[in-house]
Structure 1
């Protein structure tokens, strides 16, 4: 079911709910492609894009929440199914996905929740806080590993280790079919710090936002 433009269903009418969290510092085309693939392949009626608040697992300081929220809204504004959700930014203390899923499970009590993951997130699943509870609440939908992606990984000096997860959790993981999109928020921040063009790495609106607010430049 694809909702008409600007439709915003009530929680009682949502049967398939996607949740996609991340720093979005900045959001880039691979983020958007993942959500578009999930909407199409899972027939999601609504997707909550949830920028991270206080990221317990990141060593670097994230860009101010107001900027990451604004860029997320610019990145996903063309998708009527998407709601940019501020709850983790407004929540005090570390941001844990399990807390967000529990809250959404209460709000959308009739919906099946699908947790959307990029490949980097998929590879770190075994370290997530209360990963067993996450798997109980949501079906985990990770970006696919197509032939091109596997060939790209084989060129790495240190190939990634296999993800070791309990069989009961592994059974709750689906694969989203996606092409290789080697976009990196880290690379984008480096280029922005050097005041180089970001054409093709972010949308024109986000590039303007980064430029206008002097994001990622050395202090």
Structure 2
């Protein structure tokens, strides 16, 4: 069976932390691929600031030469909030020969009790937790912990830095920075 890791998020914008996590989990768990799944409307936070086509394009710009990274837009076409259980149910119907590993940060590990249909979801996938500063990995749910370098960067912080005209060249992959500049994304009015 194929082993695929899923990293979901708004990716608004995708930063180096996302790619470091994906790469570390892929290699430490010896997965075949990592799928980045940008969400249209997450259930646990505000809608993305940037249009989904920009977020998908930024991801694709980074991964185009990395054969084990893919972008899956299953959640981008969904109207309303995207719940992981719905995404996994659909993916498992389409890809019956795949074991899915759902990668989450420690902030989401703490939030697992509030996920829709968490008991059903836990039986369908393996959660993979990665540490984040300020959060614990304690949970009653089955979460495999993967140690990754702690990179305390958030998309929110990147957006604020861009709005204020502060440098972000070391926070973002070059392809994302180029795309943001070309399309004048996240600039203040």
TM-score, with structure 1 as normaliser: 0.79
Structure 1 outlier segments of 4+, above 6 Å: none
- Is 1:29 paired with 2:3? no
1:52-131 alignment runs, 5 A limit:
52-59=39-46, 61-131=48-118
1:186-206 deviation digits (Å, cap 9, x = unpaired): 110001112222111001221
Between the aligned partners of 1:162 and 1:21, the Cα distance in structure 2 is 18
Q: Does the CA-based 8 Å contact 1:32-1:75 persist in structure 2?
A: no
CA pair 162-83 structure 1, distance change in 2 beyond 3 A = closer
- Residue 189 of structure 1 corresponds to 159
- Is 1:38 paired with 2:8? no
Between the aligned partners of 1:190 and 1:212, the Cα distance in structure 2 is 18
Number of aligned pairs? Answer: 189
1:144-202 deviation digits (Å, cap 9, x = unpaired): 47xxx5xxx4xxxxxx5775x44xx2xx2101111111111111000111222211100
- Residue 181 of structure 2 corresponds to 211
Q: Does the CA-based 8 Å contact 2:5-2:103 persist in structure 1?
A: yes
Q: CA deviation at 1:32?
A: 0.4
Pick aligned residue for 2:36 from 37, 46, 49: 49
Q: Secondary structure at the match of 1:174?
A: strand
Between the aligned partners of 2:31 and 2:136, the Cα distance in structure 1 is 31
Between the aligned partners of 2:168 and 2:13, the Cα distance in structure 1 is 11
Pick aligned residue for 2:2 from 15, 22, 42: 15
Question: Which runs of no fewer than 5 residues in structure 1 stay unpaired?
Answer: 1-13, 154-159
Q: Does the CA-based 8 Å contact 2:106-2:136 persist in structure 1?
A: no
Q: Secondary structure at the match of 1:124?
A: helix
Between the aligned partners of 2:24 and 2:35, the Cα distance in structure 1 is 15
Q: CA deviation at 1:61?
A: 4.6
Between the aligned partners of 1:79 and 1:174, the Cα distance in structure 2 is 25
1:75-104 deviation digits (Å, cap 9, x = unpaired): 333421121011101122211111111111
Q: CA deviation at 1:52?
A: 0.6
CA pair 144-60 structure 1, distance change in 2 beyond 3 A = closer
What RMSD in Å do the two structures reach over aligned CA positions?
2.0
Higher-Rg structure is 1
TM-score, with structure 2 as normaliser: 0.90
CA pair 198-21 structure 1, distance change in 2 beyond 3 A = same
Between the aligned partners of 1:210 and 1:144, the Cα distance in structure 2 is 28
